[in-house]
Copies of this chain bind each other. A is one copy, B any other.
Amino acid sequence: MNQDLQSVSPSMSAETVAEPRLLVEEVLERLRDLIVQGELAPGVKLNERVLCERLRTSRTPVREAIKFLASEGLVELLPNRGAIVTPITVTTVREMFVLLGALEALAGELACVNASDADIAEIRALHYQMLAHHARGELAPYFRCNQQIHLRLVESTGNATLANTYRALNGHVRRARYMANLSRERWDHAVEEHQKILDALIRRDGALLPALLRGHLGNKMLVVLEALGEQAD
């Protein structure tokens, strides 16, 4: 959904007039990172005064950013009692993965039709980069590539609304993922799935790709739910 406050397009020209970014945007981005990366853990209370000191602003931008994040679902508003980081429950994780599965399946279908050859080439490059990290056992970089691939795929559909919705949901799920202690076996399996996904995309197989993606997401869900220490169904 949110279209403005996050696309900052960090232009690299030396003479950018340094468009003075709005404070709310700054705070919003920073808060979101803190939450997604788990530094502000699920369930913790957001104390405005503390956040103000940490972010060096007054309460106004902080409060406005919190409202934004509330709509995004990353924080929950408790009337007269401020806000907390939205707790992660087995139920919501499961719900979100089901939804993400459907979104990625749609993305796969659309990508087969709408993605440019350049889009696919870029995803292919990311895929091989990811394989390298897998081979070296570099988990964090692997995850980054992985995320990039999925995001690029969704973006290659040309459907910005889809991409925005995906990003928002993905933010939530990523919070849960940092605990996902991938076994080598599962990891290898995920990589295999990615290979099939890439192949289907290159062949623009609009029937197969959605199914592969949905299955892939289903497996991701199992991993995360396992990490949450709960039986998945």
| Residue ranges of A at the interface with B (Cβ–Cβ < 8 Å) | 1-5, 21-22, 24-25, 60, 63-65, 67-73, 76-80, 92, 95-96, 98-99, 102-103, 105-106, 110, 159-162, 164-165, 168-169
Contact = CB atoms under 8 A, between A and B. Distances in A.
Nearest to A83: B4
A67 B73 CA distance: 13
Shortest Cβ-Cβ A-B pairs, 4 listed: A71-B71, A1-B73, A95-B161, A102-B106
A96 B1 CA distance: 11
Contacts of A4: 70, 76-79
A169 B159 CA distance: 14
Contacts of A98: 106, 110, 159, 162
Nearest to A1: B73
Contacts of A105: 102
Contacts of A164: 73
A21 to B, nearest CB: 8
Contacts of A67: 24, 64-65, 67-68, 71
A60 B78 CA distance: 18
Contacts of A102: 102-103, 105-106
A3 B76 contact: yes
A1 B168 contact: yes
Given A3-B76, A95-B162, 7 more contacts: A2-B73, A21-B79, A24-B67, A25-B79, A70-B71, A98-B106, A99-B159
A166 B106 CA distance: 15
Contacts of A64: 63-64, 67
A70 B4 CA distance: 8
A68 B92 CA distance: 21
